[in-house]
Structure 1
Amino acid sequence: MQVHIDALGAEGHGLARLPDGAALFVAGALPGEDVTVLPTGDGRARVETIIHPSADRVAPVCDLFGECGGCSVQYMSLPLSLRWKTDTVLRALHAAGHADPVPVTSWQGAPMTRRRVDLTFAREGQAIALGLHRKRGAVVDMTQCHVLEPALFALLPPLRQMLHSLPAVRRGGDLQINMLDSGPDLLLATDGPLGPDDRRLLAQFAGTHRIPRISWRPHGSHDTPETAAQTAGVWHEFCGVRTAPPPGAFLQPSRAGEDAIRQAVLDALPTKRIKGDIIELYAGCGTLSFALAERARVMAYEGDWAAFACLKQACGGTRVQAFHNDLNRQPVMGTVLAKAGAVVLDPPHAGAGAQLQQIIDGRPLRVIYVSCNPTALRRDAAALLQAGYRLEHVTVIDQFLWSTEVESVCLFTRPPPPRRR
């Protein structure tokens, strides 16, 4: 069947219209292309032949494209990717009811700048495969990567050798790497217990490759990690303030992407003196907190205990005060939020949950919402609209190159109450 691709869907698939008006999503197709497809059911199809390719179709830069579970749209030019992600965010906001045109700023990162990665590994014969899963498949050994920082990618070959020698690795496990200012920080999960020989090998590896800390926990568990080897102090700076992140701490994927989000949040604050404190929700280890503190006093709330402890320890001598609240079970109340000069929130993928209702009840004049999920943003933006908030500005952040992930910073305001005579 031959179809013409009109647009891109939310998952990056080409969107075509069948003669009866039904939508057909074609994996691997781009807008403007004429393609022959093989329907796979449920309104989906795959490309068989590209009759007229788009000018935005490019050759994938990685030989593992199509196998590795990471970069899913490397056939799409980066300028088209940014336009598509911007449209995805704007469509979500339009679906929420924010139909008036607003100023939009878009930012895109560069290849080979990603500083954190979650990998999986498995024994395959006499070797270790270390990389990402195929979709619903085995581990694809990451022999090349065009998104990771070169220093991070350079760790993978010696890591394979070390993991192969570990008695704690029976069949496989997971590995998270954060490239902190102090150096690589590793969180290892294995399917076997960690014994004295494992600790000795990890300590040797950490010393040889200048890794300040290697932490460990059983594979599949959410236990608090234990330190398996440490050769130096672990630290990371946010706006000149030194913190001590816990194992597996959340970092923005790239330094430049973190700077772009931080600047978009600061630009959304009032240009004049802020009347009242800034209340920051889901503060993490302080990614935004210390930058916000340059503009006003910050009341920073975080639910994860390890992240809160990191933030609390770094607050001395700053205008940041840290609080430990599970914001889904113990949200900051509207009576507190009502006094804020601005509310800044960077919620998890599922959105703001119970905390959003307290924001609506408190009716602060300015809400700055950092989103990593357009679907959750649509739901929360609709609730803010119904409560009288207006969308003033949107910044779209693309730091997950060649993927369907997109982040945004949205400024919502509401008019101040009329003055009493």
Structure 2
Amino acid sequence: MQVHIDALGAEGHGLARLPDGGTLFVPGALPGEAVRVLPTGGGQALLEEIITPSPDRVDPVCALFGRCGGCSVQYMSLPLSLRWKVDIVTRALQAAGYADVPVMTPWQALPRTRRRVDLAFRRVDQGIALGLHRRRGDVVDMTECHVLEPALFALLAPLRQMLHSLPAVRRGGDLQINMLDSGPDLLLATDGPPGNDDRRILAHFAGEQRIPRISYRPPASHDVPETVAQTATVWHEFSGVRTAPPPGAFLQPSRSGEDAIRQAVLHSLPAKRIKGDIIELYAGCGTLSFALATRGRVMAHEGDEAAFNCLRQACGGTRVQAFHRDLNRQPVMANVLAKAGAVVLDPPHAGAGAQLAQITDGKPLHVIYVSCNPTALRRDAAALRQAGYRLERLTVIDQFLWSTEVESVCLFTRPPPPRRR
């Protein structure tokens, strides 16, 4: 059947509205296109032919597109991708009850600026395949990438040779790389235990490639990673403060994206002197903490022990005080939040959970919410609206090019209580 694509769905699939009132989702189709499709049931259809292409349709820049499990919408121009992501976040907030969404100028990363990646590797006939998983399939060897920093991508070729020589790699494993200010930081997991030969090979590789640290993650996820090779001090700066991130530490995907989030948060703080402490929830290693400290005293809370230790050790001489606290089991209470000059939270993908109930009970005047999940944002924003909060500001940030992922920074405020005579 032939249909007209009217919009994009949350997964980037073209949406066609049918004469009978139904809808079809067509992966690979763009708004404004006339396409011929094959319905497959459940409101889904396969794209068979593009009759009238959209002016926003472009040729994928990567030869691996369609096989590699990374980029999913490289046929979509980047300007359209940014408009679509702004629309996703805007509609989530409208569904939460905010009819008027004040959107600031959105921000989008440049290609080849991503500084962290989680890869898989498998032994193959010719050596090692290192890359991302094929959609619902095996590892696709990353012979090309238009997302990663060039220095990070250049490391993949020698990594293949090294992994091929490791006795601990029987069938395969996983590898996380963070490009810290001190250099590449590797966290390795294999399907065999590392022995003396593995440690010797890893130490030689670290020295040869100028990698400050290589760590090994045991099969049990709760075990602390072991440093198997270290050639130099591991460090990374947040807002001019040097920290020592643990293996596998969370970093924003790009340096410029981290700065965009930081600036959006700082611009959301009260313009005048902040009355009360800034309470930061889910602080991590200090991505925002030390920037917030330029505006007031910061009470930073983090549940992950390794990240907390990193933050605590860097707090000396700053206006940041770190607290180790599982915010899902032991949230900061409403009576403490009520006295805050501002509450800043960057919750995990699932949202703020039990902590949000304490925020809505405490009713601090300013809540700055950093979101990586529009679905969780919609749920949490609805609770804030029911508690009397207004949405004052929205900044959409696209750090994940050619994907469905989107981040945002929202400022929620509530009117101050009336003054007594």
TM-score normalised by length of structure 1: 0.99
Equivalent position of 2:385 in the other structure: 385
Equivalent position of 1:353 in the other structure: 353
Equivalent position of 1:26 in the other structure: 26
* Contact kept? 2:119, 2:176, Cα under 8 Å: yes
Distance in structure 1 (CA, Å) of the matches to 2:228 and 2:44: 47
Equivalent position of 2:320 in the other structure: 320
- One-letter code aligned to 2:346: D
**Cα gap change, 1:116 to 1:355, in 2 (>3 Å):** same
Distance in structure 1 (CA, Å) of the matches to 2:220 and 2:65: 28
Equivalent position of 1:152 in the other structure: 152
Distance in structure 1 (CA, Å) of the matches to 2:173 and 2:400: 24
* Contact kept? 1:191, 1:218, Cα under 8 Å: no
Equivalent position of 2:163 in the other structure: 163
Q: What are the superposed Cα offsets for residues 87-118 of structure 1, whole Å, 9 maximum, x if unpaired? A: 00000000000112424320001000000000
- One-letter code aligned to 1:39: P
Equivalent position of 2:129 in the other structure: 129
- One-letter code aligned to 2:148: L
Q: C-alpha displacement at 1:18, in angstroms?
A: 1.7
Distance in structure 2 (CA, Å) of the matches to 1:117 and 1:310: 21
Q: CA RMSD in A?
A: 0.7
Equivalent position of 1:208 in the other structure: 208
Distance in structure 2 (CA, Å) of the matches to 1:25 and 1:384: 32
* Contact kept? 2:90, 2:101, Cα under 8 Å: no
Q: C-alpha displacement at 1:41, in angstroms?
A: 2.1
Equivalent position of 2:223 in the other structure: 223
Please list every run of 5 or more consecutive structure 1 residues that lacks an aligned counterpart in the other structure. none
- One-letter code aligned to 1:329: R
* Contact kept? 1:192, 1:218, Cα under 8 Å: no
Q: What are the superposed Cα offsets for residues 22-70 of structure 1, whole Å, 9 maximum, x if unpaired? A: 1110000000000001122211112110000000000000000000000
Distance in structure 1 (CA, Å) of the matches to 2:384 and 2:10: 23
Equivalent position of 2:406 in the other structure: 406
TM-score normalised by length of structure 2: 0.99
Distance in structure 2 (CA, Å) of the matches to 1:219 and 1:56: 45
Identity of aligned residues (%): 83
- Matched ranges for 1:70-109 at <5 A: 70-109=70-109
Equivalent position of 2:339 in the other structure: 339
Is 1:10 aligned to 2:10, yes or no? yes
* Contact kept? 1:298, 1:319, Cα under 8 Å: yes
**Cα gap change, 1:160 to 1:220, in 2 (>3 Å):** farther
Please list every run of 5 or more consecutive structure 2 residues that lacks an aligned counterpart in the other structure. none
* Contact kept? 2:283, 2:301, Cα under 8 Å: yes
Q: What are the superposed Cα offsets for residues 261-286 of structure 1, whole Å, 9 maximum, x if unpaired? A: 00000000011100011000000000
Q: Give the match's secondary structure for 1:203.
A: helix
* Contact kept? 2:344, 2:367, Cα under 8 Å: yes
Distance in structure 2 (CA, Å) of the matches to 1:73 and 1:16: 18
Q: What are the superposed Cα offsets for residues 110-152 of structure 1, whole Å, 9 maximum, x if unpaired? A: 0000000000000012310000001110000000000000000
- One-letter code aligned to 1:361: D
Distance in structure 2 (CA, Å) of the matches to 1:265 and 1:221: 32
Distance in structure 2 (CA, Å) of the matches to 1:227 and 1:299: 31
Distance in structure 2 (CA, Å) of the matches to 1:254 and 1:76: 21
Deviates more, 1:98-107 or 1:349-358: 98-107
* Contact kept? 1:173, 1:219, Cα under 8 Å: no
